[in-house]
Amino acid sequence: MLADATIPLRKPIDGGHRPMFIDGQWVESLSGERLETRNPANGRLLATVPSGTKEDVDRAVKAARRAFHGPWSRMKPFERQALLLRIADLFEKHWEEISASDTQDMGLPISRTRANRLRVVGMLRYYAGMATAITGDTIRNSIPGDVFSMTVREPVGVVGAIIPWNAPTASSIWKIGPALATGCTIVLKPSEDAPLTPLLIADIMAEAGVPDGVVNIVTGTGASAGAALAEHPDVNKLVFTGSTLTGQAIVRASAIGPKRVSLELGGKSPLIICADADLDKAVPIAAMAVYAHSGQICIAGSRLFVEAPIHDEFVQRLVAFSKGLRIGDGMQADTQIGPVVSRRQLDKIMGYIEQGREGGAQLMTGGRQLTDADLAAGHFVEPTIFTDVEDDMVIAREEIFGPVISALRFEEVGDVIARANDTPYGLAAGVFTRDIGKAHRIASALQAGSVFVNGYHLLDPAVPFGGYKSSGYGREGGAEQIDGYLNTKAIWIDT
Ligand code: NAD
């Protein structure tokens, strides 16, 4: 049933042009227009990609619909599982290219993109397992006579997926994986700031023998290709990861169809350090809870609440840790902190740092754009720590999406929970304490989709991930995510 295609992976970063992937073909936008994508470490042009339009999205959705009505959605679970395992093996094989592509397109250090292999390949193998674990129920009903009722689970159809730039590989697989496991087809629109790895993933899909039209990658801007996908009347489900503002536009657009929606949105996550915490463990984790991805991570623990007796010592140690970090081009093996993705992002972060200063917070370290020697052509921001931050300051309320920590002092655990929850967001939260009872009490009181105790950034495909409040709804990972790609049909048999 599967095509026996073997397409060699193209060189990931070639400074040339990359077509997009629709119906198993590498194609140009009908508009003929192109977008540039540049390396944020040095400003060099990496490649151009098509600037997809409404017509291109329509082509892709039609291809996805045809593929859905082909043999694809009726493929047996074992076949689907074998395909996902083959894709996982190809990810292993091509991981160096994938990690180099992510590093150059969005800046994350190569040591981290290399280390993401376990997580991403693990996600694919997890979804392979889920392909054989889709079940329905038989349900006893109260209708007189011998009437039987049962449920079957069927794929929802065509999925439209829109992702940001901060984790292109993992974000793509978090959408493509469940689609392949359940028998849906998918049109994925990557961010205009990091479109190259999703195109590389399309190569792998072709190499694995994914049938034409099952996975389509349409590059383009949010205003054009993104909005067209969100509004397309023949898309059955939208999965969106991005900012809360764009998420609201997605929900409005989803009324056309209407479509099922799941949203992974922004955050302003609190991380609480209690006086009894293991500080040797907590300091580096609290720093990297924000600095990982140069702060461009949705669960960044950017509101750091520190209990009064240890506040000054903790901040001092955090400053020392921050000053020791190696910042530079992510392609250098020893780089710990890479650039932020674009000039626009850099300006936004520097604007927040200025507001922090003007608002009366005390800058303990960082606060500058780095322009020394090789860094001048890139978008580098020093790891930054503010203290004397008040709860109502802009830097304590808005998502900065940069390497900026706002440290806030607290006196009472009871107070800090209310302060931690005083935000429109609810994506993640963390607490460091040696007292297991206190850890449980705080974890259950925090309004967030993930709560990390004595750790941070813990993610696994089997564990649901998603937001409370304005951080979104629906879950990625776990059985709940798979449910989101399935319709439930009740079948009645009146004997
Ligand atoms: P963004 O909302 O600007 O863009 C995300 C995607 O949406 C891009 O592909 C963009 O082209 C597209 N888009 C923009 N406008 C659109 C529209 N009107 N219709 C349809 N699509 C549109 O977000 P960003 O700046 O790329 O990413 C940063 C944001 O993503 C942060 O808020 C971050 O917290 C969030 N994020 C959330 C998670 C999570 O899992 N909750 C993960 C990563 C990032």
Question: What would the two tokens of residue 35 be?
Answer: 């977008």
Residue 78 φ/ψ, nearest 5 degrees: -65, -35
- Rounded distance from Cα 494 to ligand 1 centre (Å): 49
- Rounded distance from Cα 241 to ligand 1 centre (Å): 5
Query: Could you tell me how far CA 26 lies from the centroid of its own chain?
Result: 25
Q: In which element (H, E) is residue 462 found?
A: none
- pLDDT of 473 reads 97
3-class SS string, 344-407: HHHHHHHHHHHHHHHCCCEEEECCCEECCHHHHHCCEECCEEEECCCCCCHHHHCCCCCCEEEE
- pLDDT of 6 reads 45
- Rounded distance from Cα 218 to ligand 1 centre (Å): 16
| Euclidean distance between CA atoms 364 and 361, whole angstroms | 9
- Rounded distance from Cα 486 to ligand 1 centre (Å): 24
Count CB neighbours of 89 within 10 A.
15
- pLDDT of 374 reads 87
**Catalytic site residue 231?**
no
| Euclidean distance between CA atoms 283 and 129, whole angstroms | 37
Residue 118 φ/ψ, nearest 5 degrees: -60, -45
Residue length of the chain: 495
- Structural contact between residues 425 and 449, judged by C-beta atoms closer than 8 angstroms: no
- Edge-to-edge strand order for the sheet containing 147-155? 138-139, 147-155, 486-494
Pick from 190, 420, 376, 171: nearest CA to 293: 171
What are the 10-residue block averages of pLDDT along the chain, 495 residues in total?
46 78 96 95 95 98 97 94 98 96 96 96 98 97 97 98 97 98 98 96 96 98 98 98 96 94 97 98 98 96 98 98 97 96 97 98 98 93 98 98 98 96 98 98 98 97 97 96 97 97
The angle, 0 to 180 degrees and rounded to 10, between the axes of the packed helices 196-208 and 95-106 is 160
Q: Which of 298, 379, 468, 471 to mutate to test the pocket of ligand 1 (most atoms within 8 A of CB)?
A: 298
Count CB neighbours of 487 within 10 A.
15
Q: For the chain, how far is it from start to end, CA to CA, in angstroms?
A: 37
Q: Which of 53, 192, 243, 465 to mutate to test the pocket of ligand 1 (most atoms within 8 A of CB)?
A: 243
| Euclidean distance between CA atoms 304 and 315, whole angstroms | 10
- Rounded distance from Cα 21 to ligand 1 centre (Å): 21
Pick from 64, 58, 340, 56: nearest CA to 220: 56
Cβ contacts of 38 within 8 Å, gap of 6 or more: 44, 45, 46
Where in the chain are all domains bearing CATH 3.40.605.10? 20-265+471-491
Query: Could you tell me how far CA 53 lies from the centroid of its own chain?
Result: 24
- pLDDT of 373 reads 85
- Structural contact between residues 262 and 477, judged by C-beta atoms closer than 8 angstroms: no
Q: Does domain 20-265+471-491 have CATH number 3.40.605.10?
A: yes
| Euclidean distance between CA atoms 140 and 150, whole angstroms | 9
- pLDDT of 462 reads 96
Task: For residue 472, give the ligand 1 atom closest to its CA.
Answer: 41
- Rounded distance from Cα 193 to ligand 1 centre (Å): 11
Q: Which CATH fold topology does 270-453 show?
A: Aldehyde Dehydrogenase; Chain A, domain 2 (3.40.309)
Q: In which element (H, E) is residue 211 found?
A: none
Global pTM reads 0.96
Task: For residue 192, give the ligand 1 atom closest to its CA.
Answer: 11
- pLDDT of 74 reads 87
| Euclidean distance between CA atoms 325 and 337, whole angstroms | 7
Task: For residue 191, give the ligand 1 atom closest to its CA.
Answer: 9
Task: For residue 189, give the ligand 1 atom closest to its CA.
Answer: 9
Catalytic residue chosen out of the listed positions 231, 264, 307, 382:
264
Query: Could you tell me how far CA 61 lies from the centroid of its own chain?
Result: 23
Report, in angstroms and rounded to the nearest whole number, the Rg of the chain calculated over CA atoms. Answer: 23
Residue 450 φ/ψ, nearest 5 degrees: -135, 135
User: What are the DSSP E strand ranges found in 242-346?
Assistant: 260-264, 270-273, 303-307
Longest Cα–Cα distance of the chain, Å, equals 83
- pLDDT of 10 reads 65
Please report where in the chains the tokens 């999406």 appear, as a residue: 401
Task: For residue 467, give the ligand 1 atom closest to its CA.
Answer: 41
23 torsion bin: left (phi>0), alpha (psi -120 to 50), beta (else): left
Please report where in the chains the tokens 């017509």 appear, as a residue: 55
Question: What would the two tokens of residue 294 be?
Answer: 């140069």
Instruction: Give nearest CA residue, ligand 1 atom 9.
Output: 191
- pLDDT of 9 reads 65
Please report where in the chains the tokens 């070639």 appear, as a residue: 14
Q: Which of 173, 235, 246 to mutate to test the pocket of ligand 1 (most atoms within 8 A of CB)?
A: 246
Cβ contacts of 234 within 8 Å, gap of 6 or more: 61, 62, 65, 158, 257
Q: What is the pLDDT of residues 327-367, one digit of tens each?
A: 999 999 999 999 999 999 999 999 999 999 999 999 999 99
Pocket of ligand 1 (CB under 6 A): 162-166, 189, 191-192, 221-223, 226-227, 230, 241-243, 246, 249-250, 264-267, 298, 399, 401, 427, 467, 472
- pLDDT of 183 reads 98
Which CA distances in Å does 387 have to 277, 317, 361, 408? 19, 13, 6, 6
What's the burial of 292, exposed, middle or buried (CB within 10 Å: 0-12/13-18/19+)? buried
- Structural contact between residues 423 and 448, judged by C-beta atoms closer than 8 angstroms: no
Q: What is the ipTM of this complex?
A: 0.96
Where in the chain are all domains bearing CATH 3.40.309.10? 270-453
Question: What would the two tokens of residue 210 be?
Answer: 């994914």
- pLDDT of 1 reads 34
- Rounded distance from Cα 165 to ligand 1 centre (Å): 8
- pLDDT of 14 reads 61
